[in-house]
Amino acid sequence: MAKERRTPSGPPGHISMQSAPKADISAREEPQDPLRGFASILALPSIRARLEKSSREGAWTSDETLSLLSLDPLTLVRLLRLVHAPIGQHDSEILSVPELAKALGNHNLRRALRTPSQAVPDAPDLRKLWLHSVATAHAARDLAMDRGTIDPEQAWLLGLLHDLPLWTQCLGHLRESDDPTIDYHEWANDWRLPPTLSLMIDARINHDESSSSPAASIISTAEKLAELAGFRHPQDKNLLSEQTPAYDMEDRDMTRSRSLRQKVLKNLTRFGLETMLVEGTLTVETPAPIAAPPATAHLADMALNLSSSNEATSYRSITTIAMSAALRYLGFERVHHLRWTRPQPWCHIRTKADLSPRRLSMMQMGLTKQEHSAFEEARRTRMPAIINRKSGGLLQGLGTDQALLVPVNPDFGVPTFLILDRAYSASPIVMDHDAVGAQTLASITTLLIENLLLRQRQVRTERFALTDPLTRLFNRGVGISVLVQELARRKRTQKPLTLLMLDLDQFKDLNDTRGHLVGDLALRATADVIRKEVRRSDTVCRYGGEEFLIVLPETSVEDASITATRIFTAISNEGHRLGLPLTVSVGLSAATSTEDSVEDLLARADRALYASKERGRNRFSIDLA
C-alpha cells in the first residue's frame, strides 16, 4: 500500500506521495495519536481570533455549534472516537453531526470546540487541505440529496474526512516528528472509527473502483467538483484528469462548481472566516499564554457545596454530588466512578457524569501494567495520579489518552476512585493546577462517606436496641412505651384505643416435636403476617417468648374485632401453606375510662387471651370490664 511521508529535502508542511516501508508498529510503546497537539483546526490562533471577532465564543447557539463542528474535521474525528468508545452504549455506528449531537449533547459539542489554541509552524498545505475538505463535504451533501443513495448528513461527514490519512501525514510533519509515518489502519482500529469511513478510505487508498460503494462514488465525484470550484487538492494532483467510470464532466458541473464556491464562501462568512479563501498559507501566530486560574479558585464554593450534603442518606447520592462538583468547579468534562478489585488487574465502572444522555455499556475493564501501578500508587499515597495511555486498558475503553485518577476510599477492602478527564476539548491535565482541586474533592468526599457510615452504624445500633432480632418487630419496651403515650393521648382527645394480645397455640409442643429452628420459623411467619394485616399507625411488638402485642390507636372495639379475626385467620392459612400447626389465640381489651392504666389494659387483654385458649384456641375474645 502506498504510504505518505515527508520528503526530507522539502519545506515544512509540504506533502508528497512516495512508497514507504510499513512502520514497525510492534516496537511502539505508545499508541499513535496523529492529532496530538492539533485537536482542532478551529483552535489555530488565526482562525480562533476571527471566530471571536464574529461572535462571542461559548455563546454559540445550537445551530451555530453544529455548523462550526461541521467545518472541523479534527474535532469530528475526536468525537467519533468518543462516541464509539467501548464504555458507551451504541447499537450502530454514528456517522453524522446530528447523530453526534443526539448521542453526546450540544453542551459537550460546545466543549469540544473550546480546544486550547495551538501554535504550529507556517503550514502551506494546511489551508488547502482544510478548504478542499470543506468544499468536498458541501458537494457530497448536495449529491446525496440528488441521488438519494445515502443520508446527506453522512455524506457531509464522509466528504469532510475523506482525506483523513493525509491530515495525519500533514500534522505529523508540522510536529516535525522523528517518525512521521502513521499507519492509518492501526490508528483507526485503535480509535474504533466507523467501519463505513474506513472502508471508503481503503477504497480511495487502493484506487479500487470495483469495490466502490455508493458513498465512495459520491465522495469521488464531490472531490472533483471541489477541484473544479477552485479548491485544489494539497498534493496538487489534477483530479479532473483522472479517467474513472464514476465521473464524466458535463456543462452543468460548471454551474455546480460556481454554486459550490458560493456555498463555501457563505458558510465561512457566517463565522468571519471568508479570508481563508485568499491564496497563501495559513499563517499562525503564537498565542498569548493563557494564565491558569489560581489553584484555589472555586475551591471554597466547592467545599461549601459538598459540605451542605452532609446529611446525604446514601453512598450513591454522595458520589453523584462529588462527580457533579468535579464538572462544575474543577473544569473536568467527564467523571467516572469505579471500584478496583485489588490486586486484580481490572476495575468496575459504577456510574458516570458527563452531561450526555449515553448509558454505560461496559461495567468491567482491564488495566494495563502502567494503569495498575498508578492505581496502587494512588491508593498507597492517597494522592491523585495522572494516567497517560500506553495501549489498551481502561483509558482505551474510555476513549481518551489522559486522565486524573483520584482515590476516594483507599482504605476500603475494595477501594473506590474517581477518574477525571477533558476528553471533549482535549485540554491537558496539569498536575500542579488540577491536583489541588482533585485532592480537596477527594478529602471532602471521603469525610462525607465516613460520616454516612457512622450514621448508618448508629441507626443499626439504635434499631438493634429497639427491635427483636428474630422477628424484626419492636421489643417489649417499645410496645409498653407506645401504650403509655397512646393512653395519655386518649385521655386528651377521648378517641378510642384498643389492644390485642396474641399467643401462639401449643408452641411448646411445636418446639419439642419439630425443633427450635422450626419454632423460629413459626415466630417469623407469624410476625410477617401481623405486619401485613395492620396499619402503619399501629404498633406491633414481641411481648414475650411466643406472645405479641398490637396497639391500635383511634380504633373502636368493632374495628379491632375485625382486625383480630383477619389476623388469626391469616396466620392459620400461613400455617397450612408451611405445613405447620400454626394458630393463635387473641385477647382484646379497650380503654373504657380516663382512669384506665397500662396495667389495666394488659390485664384485661391477658384474661381475654386465656378465655380464647379455654374456648378451643384459634379465635379471639374480648374483656372490657
Q: Tell me the β-bridge partners of 601.
A: none
192 and 304 fall within a common domain: no
504-520 in b/e burial notation, b at 16+ Cβ within 10 A? bbebeebbeeeeeeebe
- Answer yes or no: is 21 within a domain: no
CATH assignment of the domain containing 592 = 3.30.70.270
Per-residue pLDDT at 500 exceeds 60: yes
188 and 61 fall within a common domain: yes
CATH assignment of the domain containing 436 = 3.30.450.40
191 and 56 fall within a common domain: yes
Per-residue pLDDT at 240 exceeds 50: no
- Answer yes or no: is 542 within a domain: yes
What pLDDT sits at residue 360? 87
What pLDDT sits at residue 308? 81
CA atoms of 366 and 180, how far apart (whole Å): 30
What pLDDT sits at residue 117? 74
What pLDDT sits at residue 209? 55
Reported as a single tens digit per residue, the pLDDT across 340-378 is 988 889 999 999 999 898 888 878 899 999 999 999 999
Could you tell me if 609 and 601 are in contact, meaning their C-beta atoms sit under 8 angstroms apart?
A: no
Q: Tell me the β-bridge partners of 17.
A: 4
CA atoms of 233 and 81, how far apart (whole Å): 26
Could you tell me if 552 and 538 are in contact, meaning their C-beta atoms sit under 8 angstroms apart?
A: yes
CATH assignment of the domain containing 71 = 1.10.3210.10
263 and 304 fall within a common domain: no
What pLDDT sits at residue 557? 95
Per-residue pLDDT at 215 exceeds 90: no
- Torsion angle (degrees, nearest 10) of CA 388, 392, 395, 396: 130
216 and 304 fall within a common domain: no
Average of pLDDT values for 459-485?
Answer: 90
Final residue in a domain of this structure, among 210, 242, 277: 277
Q: Is the dihedral of CA 611, 614, 615, 616 positive or negative?
A: positive
- Answer yes or no: is 354 within a domain: yes
485 and 604 fall within a common domain: yes
Reported as a single tens digit per residue, the pLDDT across 280-325 is 445 544 444 444 444 455 788 888 888 887 778 888 899 999 999 9
Enter the C-alpha cell of residue 601: 389494659
412 and 548 fall within a common domain: no
- Answer yes or no: is 471 within a domain: no
Per-residue pLDDT at 542 exceeds 60: yes
Please work out, in degrees rounded to the nearest 5, the angle formed at the alpha carbon of residue 80 by the alpha carbons of 188 and 223.
Answer: 75
What pLDDT sits at residue 286? 45
CA atoms of 56 and 492, how far apart (whole Å): 70
Q: Which residues lie closer than 8 Å to 232 by C-beta, 6 or more apart?
A: 128, 132
CA 415 to chain centre: 19
Per-residue confidence at 165, pLDDT binned at 50, 70, 90?
Answer: confident
Reported as a single tens digit per residue, the pLDDT across 27-43 is 344 556 677 768 888 88
CA atoms of 138 and 260, how far apart (whole Å): 7
Residue 541: give the domain boundaries: 476-622
Of all residues in the chain, the percent with pLDDT exceeding 70 is: 84
What is the pTM (predicted TM-score) of this model?
A: 0.74
What pLDDT sits at residue 211? 54
Final residue in a domain of this structure, among 429, 458, 487: 458
- Answer yes or no: is 551 within a domain: yes
269 and 404 fall within a common domain: no
55 and 111 fall within a common domain: yes
358 and 497 fall within a common domain: no
| Tally of domains within the chain | 3
- Answer yes or no: is 82 within a domain: yes
491 and 438 fall within a common domain: no
Could you tell me if 72 and 40 are in contact, meaning their C-beta atoms sit under 8 angstroms apart?
A: yes
Of all residues in the chain, the percent with pLDDT exceeding 90 is: 50
Altogether, the residues listed in the chain come to a count of 625
What pLDDT sits at residue 26? 37
60 and 200 fall within a common domain: yes
Final residue in a domain of this structure, among 458, 489, 508: 458
- Answer yes or no: is 426 within a domain: yes
- Answer yes or no: is 238 within a domain: yes
